[in-house]
Amino acid sequence: DASLDIDLLFDRSGSMNERMSSDRDRTATKYTVAKAGLVTAIGEHFKPADRMRLWEFNEGVNCVGGGFTNSA
């Protein structure tokens, strides 16, 4: 029941540009599938008071942004 305050590290390395091997969508990359999963998880499970800082890594680590909440 408590609000979340999390940091999430998201892989943005070159391997994430590889195509997924699924019968549903052969044009999807690992990155687009992971991103869609993250968006779905936030939409379905985050509460308005939840906070998240999103980081991505490749050659280094970069803060993409923070303070995201689910306004639904």
Which amino acid does the sequence have at 63?
A: C
Print pLDDT tens along the chain (72 aa). Answer: 789 999 999 999 999 999 887 666 677 899 999 999 999 998 898 888 999 999 999 999 999 988 765 554
Neighbours of 60 (CB within 10 A): 6
Q: pTM higher than 0.95 for the full model?
A: no
Measured in whole angstroms, the distance separating CA 72 from the mean position of its chain's CA atoms is 18
